[in-house]
Amino acid sequence: MRASVLAAVVLAVGCGAPQAEPDNRPRMKQVAAAWEGSAALKQWREGFHPLDRQQWKPPEGFHSEQDQDAYAAQSFVLRTELPATPPPATAIRWPDGSGSGDGGGTTLTLSLQTAAETYRELDRGPDGEPALAVTDVRFGEIAVRTSRGPARVPAWLFTVDGYETPLARIAVAPQELPKAPVEPLDTFGEGTAPLLSYTATPDAADLTVRAGHGSCDGGVAVDVLEGADTVVLAGRIVADAEPGTSCDAAMRVETVLVTLARPLGARLVIDAATGEPLG
């Protein structure tokens, strides 16, 4: 979600007067009609477009606040030689039943970045600051959520001194995102709740949706409109908070379970407010 759009929605769910529940159906139908059968949908379903941010989360946690700050600042120091040869031609692989949506697996081979190119994107912190030391680099693959379902993707794996779990970065050269066939809402009505992300598996009908709301309301509901190739979601505030609730300007995050009429499969999940795929 673009920052300006998210900010507008956050203002709509902030503390204040009671919010009216919006009727999301007209907007959801507009978004679904724009996406179904569109060139943008074809691009999203035939290209490689990751839905997750590349975040490193060591299972044991960061060893110190200094390490966590160095990671946030993208501050690294290289204490090994980067592989000089280009990575081997390796395809992105979607398992059977996902990716193509036709019951069979599918692959896609794209240009790959070298270890040096990937490391330059990783290490962007200022020199002289506390840094995490990279002690080894190898080529491998990782599991990634994409607009076509979960995939195994070529990646560079950076060993960080003191940590068992390597820091992985996708080795595929970035792809240009298709332009959404519908514009985002210019204004957001009272009672609108911003959608932040979702998790799901293609063979399941349940989606776990993260949505935001203010501290002076009673929570969030997520409306659903299912199509042949899309699932459009819209968030709304469901009720006012209990009397006496402590109120501030912070956005609260709530997890909402959404059950579809059939498994998600290769359908694209779209945010009705932004008109764009939801990560």
- What does the pLDDT average to over 193-219? 84
- Predicted structure pTM score: 0.76
Final residue of a structural domain among 135, 170, 205: 170
* Whether residue 110 is found in the same domain as residue 136: yes
At 63-94, the pLDDT tens digits run: 999 999 999 999 999 999 999 999 999 999 98
At 87-125, the pLDDT tens digits run: 999 999 988 544 444 444 689 999 999 999 999 999 998
Specify if 278 maps to a domain: no
At 211-262, the pLDDT tens digits run: 887 767 778 889 999 999 999 999 988 866 566 656 666 677 889 999 999 9
Give the domain extent around 29.
3-47+179-271
* Pick from 41-50, 133-142, 187-196, 251-260: least confident: 187-196
* Whether residue 71 is found in the same domain as residue 166: yes
Specify if 58 maps to a domain: no
SS3 per-residue string spanning the chain:
CCHHHHHHHHHHCCCCCCCCCCCCHHHHHHHHHHHCCCHHHHHHHHCCCECCCCCCCCCCCCCCHHHHHHHHCCCEEECCCCCCCCCCCCCEEECCCCCCCCCCCEEECCCECCHHHHHHHHCCCCCCCCCEEEEEEEEEEEEEEEECEEEEEEEEEEEECCCCCCEEEECECCCCCCCCCCCCCCCCCCCEECEEEEECCCCCCEEEEEEEECCCECCEEEEEEECCCEEEEEEEECCECCCCCCCCCCCEEEEEEEECCCCCCCCEEEECCCCCECC
Specify if 100 maps to a domain: yes
Under the banding of pLDDT at 50, 70 and 90, the label for residue 53 is confident
Specify if 24 maps to a domain: yes
Final residue of a structural domain among 150, 170, 190: 170
Final residue of a structural domain among 136, 170, 204: 170
Q: What is the CATH number of the domain that holds 119?
A: 2.40.128
Specify if 259 maps to a domain: yes
Specify if 57 maps to a domain: no
What does the pLDDT read at residue 99?
43
Structural domain count of the chain: 2
